[in-house]
Structure 1
């Protein structure tokens, strides 16, 4: 009997480490070139090691999700345009089917501190976006007090 040869090669620890570090930051196509593997092999291995979707592993949050938190509703194209024009730092993550606008959380908080007039911090629940700068809790408390006072005055 003839022994079957294995056509695919085993993943090395170094290759798995590279995939883990770069998944979500680089496209599957780029990773396939770097690692010398097919796009399908890259996606299968990422799934096998629990990496999930590339968008979930990107260094940030989708702009759509962020704007829905900030605006309190599904973001419209006007919202996207308004925040982009205000300099909201974002980057584009391309997948095989589409592209996503992503926002790094640390850069967002730096931008938000300078653009507090564009954001109603009271709409964002504490720690929704991870660790928050100190000014956020003070601003949230102040804003919620203003809202409660306004509601009270409306009923009085």
Structure 2
């Protein structure tokens, strides 16, 4: 079978409906294979954070955890989410950031705030920074998050010392020095 180019109308349809219905239904509506639709969604970057919704995977990355934690929040603690049954017996969750923050305000004790990357879910309430500081733990023997690496690079450009960067991130000076050698 010959490969068909994607039309503008098909891409608009993907933007509008991909996250709101199963992949199988989208594929049928576009007369394409499920694999083709899934690959196009990845290319268009609409499989994670699109149309104002966060996927469970992206939300998990913001908290430096895995999707099972988000699934537990949805199922046991009633996190408001749109449930989408995918074609491969898989369930996807789409979460509205504003609804998430309303829920998080009532469930502060359920969430481990130590792994949250500030400003990763917007609009962010003012109380979040306080909660994160309250939950701050020593970052001993833990991998650097992508956000921490970006922060290190930014602070180096501002000519901050390793000691200042370490204090800001709650890490040791030697760990910052070693990480800079690896990323430089």
TM category, shorter: 0.5 to 0.7
Q: Which 4+ runs in 1 deviate beyond 4 A? A: 7-12, 72-76, 79-83
Report how many aligned residue pairs link the two structures.
134
In the alignment, is residue 111 of structure 1 matched against residue 103 of structure 2?
A: yes
**Residues 24, 10 of structure 1: CA spacing in aligned structure 2 closer, same or farther, 3 A cutoff?**
same
Larger radius of gyration: 1
Q: Structure 1: which 5+ residue stretches go unaligned? A: 1-6, 149-156
Give the 3-state SS of the residue equivalent to 1:133 in structure 2: coil
The answer as to whether partners of 1:90 and 1:103 remain within 8 angstroms in 2 is yes
Which TM-score applies when normalising by structure 1? 0.58
**Residues 73, 18 of structure 1: CA spacing in aligned structure 2 closer, same or farther, 3 A cutoff?**
closer
Counterpart CA distance in 1 for 2:3 and 2:66 is 48
Give the 3-state SS of the residue equivalent to 2:129 in structure 1: helix
Higher relative CO (Cα under 8 Å, sequence separation at least 6) belongs to 1
Give 1:45-124 correspondences, 5 Å limit.
Answer: 46=40, 50-52=43-45, 55-56=47-48, 59-62=53-56, 66=60, 69=63, 75=68, 80-81=71-72, 84-104=75-95, 105-124=97-116
Q: Which residue of 1 aligns with 2:37?
A: 43
Which TM-score applies when normalising by structure 2? 0.51
**Residues 122, 91 of structure 1: CA spacing in aligned structure 2 closer, same or farther, 3 A cutoff?**
same
